[in-house]
Amino acid sequence: MGFGQKMRMDKHSPNFARNFSGYLLLLMSWLLWGISPLPSFGFLKWRSEEKKLVIPDFDTAQEQFAYASSLHVGVLPSLDKKKRRQQLERWIQAYSKVVERFPDDKTYTPLAYLTVAECQADLGKIQIARSMFREATERWGDNELVVARAMYDLAVTLDQEQRYSESQQIYREIIERFKDSQKPGVGEIVKKAQARYYLAKEEPVKKKPLAPLGSFFKRLNPFSK
């Protein structure tokens, strides 16, 4: 007797419950072990394993940074959330290698560090990113490009949370502090800060909590002390 015939057995038959339970257990076993009862349709797939990027070691910070940039620059952000996350994690691994191997470099390591922080922000790890932006301004405070970029990135994260009053202060500080800078790249950051500073934005108004009813009636009572 085939499966379909058995399933068409009278539900009041004493064997019905036993047979049905057996098929149910078999189906659950298939699902648990990742074996599809309908392999030709490919309904079930094995979960792909997490992969770690194998990064070569270079002799200089410039070469290490160039390798990381080759994986990043010119690559369009994926619209698929999972693939986008994989992109960002790959870039974090690549740029972190620059920071780890060349901690004393003052040209490429700061830029790699900021790129890692920006990727963290894109992953939604805002607090980690902000902490890194602030650390960058302290660690490389004499590098105008690093400071201006870190301040700008910090302000952008505030914009994302609609904290426009706070971000506007940072944009204005960038404009005033670096408007005359001759450092390559700083002028572009100033222009971007100006564009955001003068853009009209509406910030959510924080409403004051309502006073307790007791204090309301107390104000109405002229004899209360």
* One domain for residues 23 and 112: no
Q: Is residue 53 part of a domain?
A: no
* One domain for residues 175 and 79: yes
Give per-residue burial for 28-50: e unless 16+ CB within 10 Å, then b. eeeeeeeeeeeeeeeeeeeeeee
Q: Is residue 192 part of a domain?
A: yes
Per the CB < 8 A criterion, the answer to whether 41 and 63 are in contact is: no
Q: Is residue 121 part of a domain?
A: yes
> Residue 26: its pLDDT value, please?
53
- One digit per residue, the tens of pLDDT, for the chain of length 225 reads 554 444 444 545 555 455 555 555 555 554 444 444 434 334 334 344 556 778 999 999 999 999 999 998 878 888 999 999 999 999 999 999 999 999 999 999 999 999 999 999 999 999 999 999 999 999 999 999 999 999 999 999 999 999 999 999 999 999 999 999 999 999 999 999 999 999 877 877 766 665 555 554 455 555 555
> Residue 128: its pLDDT value, please?
96
Domain limits for position 132: 61-197
* One domain for residues 79 and 134: yes
Q: Is residue 217 part of a domain?
A: no
Positive or negative, the Cα torsion across 172, 174, 177, 180?
negative
Q: Is residue 101 part of a domain?
A: yes
Q: Is residue 213 part of a domain?
A: no
Global confidence as pTM: 0.69
Q: Is residue 205 part of a domain?
A: no
> Residue 73: its pLDDT value, please?
84
